[in-house]
Structure 1
Amino acid sequence: MRMESRVSRVPGVGLLGILVGMSMSVSVIMAWAAVPDCFTATREMVPCLGYLMTGNPPPQIGSPCCKGVQTLHGQVNNHVDMQSICQCMKIDANIYHFNDAALSTLMPSCSVFLPFNLTKYMDCSKVPQEWKTSSKIPPV
């Protein structure tokens, strides 16, 4: 009686094919994990909630609020990531009733300059491809 490996019974797929498939899956998971999710975005913005809800006091460079904004900005690598963060900010803005003026001035107050204004009404699908052409502040 001859013992065959289960891998050789899969038509057209050998051990090499399975290993390549597994490595591709790991790569996709690792790339997906690098994108900030809504939980991460909201966590970074928690120190800003008072300002975002009332408009006062404005955040100062070096404050926990600005450090969170700069950290989040440093984690976003492309316009698709920024679209996702934009959607998260819109959700948070509606849940927590953010002050419109505070939301649109938060990034510049923390020396993060985007080529668009964040508002709770913006169409996040229109975040420009070159959204990060402005100066990037390194995470603090």
Structure 2
Amino acid sequence: MEMVSKIACFVLLCMVVVAPHAEALTCGQVTAGLAPCLPYLQGRGPLGGCCGGVKNLLGSAKTTADRKTACTCLKSAANAIKGIDLNKAAGIPSVCKVNIPYKISPSTDCSTVQ
């Protein structure tokens, strides 16, 4: 199962790199950008490239619609991926020294994100 996850992340990353740059942020971009965070969030590895992915994602989310998309995608991923430590997820902005305009939590109301 772990190998399938790694392959899926790699394919998703390739799609994001090869795809033409669209104006709106997509869930694929969010997922690919935060893939380096998974080992850390699942307690299987160090923070690694997570902060770089978070900072790139934050820079890509320029509009309110982009930030709402990122929020919704993060919530979906948090519910879909097993073994994520939600306290670590909520602490990523602090650990990575970035300001995210919403709390990283499955209970966040993404419709209120500005």
Q: How does 1:1-80 map to 2 (within 5 A)?
A: 33-54=22-43, 57=46, 59=47, 63-80=48-65
**What letter is aligned with 2:53?**
G
Residue by residue over 1:43-77, the C-alpha shift from the partner in whole angstroms, topping out at 9 and shown as x without a partner, is: 111110012223864x3xxx411111111110011
Supply the distance in 2 between the matched residues of 1:115 and 1:72 (Cα, whole angstroms).
13
- What is the CA distance between 1:95 and its match in structure 2? 1.0
CA pair 90-40 structure 1, distance change in 2 beyond 3 A: same
- 1:121 is aligned to 2:114: no
RMSD: 2.2
* Code of the aligned partner of 1:102: K
Offset at 1:114?
A: 2.3
Length-normalised TM-score, structure 1: 0.60
Q: Give 1:95's aligned residue.
A: 80
Q: Distance in 2 between matches of 1:85 and 1:100?
A: 17
Aligned length: 94
- Any unmatched runs of 5+ in structure 2? 1-19
**Equivalents in 2 of 1:78, 1:55: separation in Å?**
33
Moved over 6 A (4+): none
What residue is the counterpart of 1:110 in the other structure? 96
CA distance in 2, matches of 1:116, 1:36: 17
Q: Which blocks of at least 5 consecutive residues in structure 1 are unaligned? A: 1-29, 130-140
Identity over aligned residues, as a percent? 31
Q: Residues of 1 paired with 2:44 and 2:101: CA distance?
A: 22
What's the TM-score once normalised by structure 2's chain length? 0.72
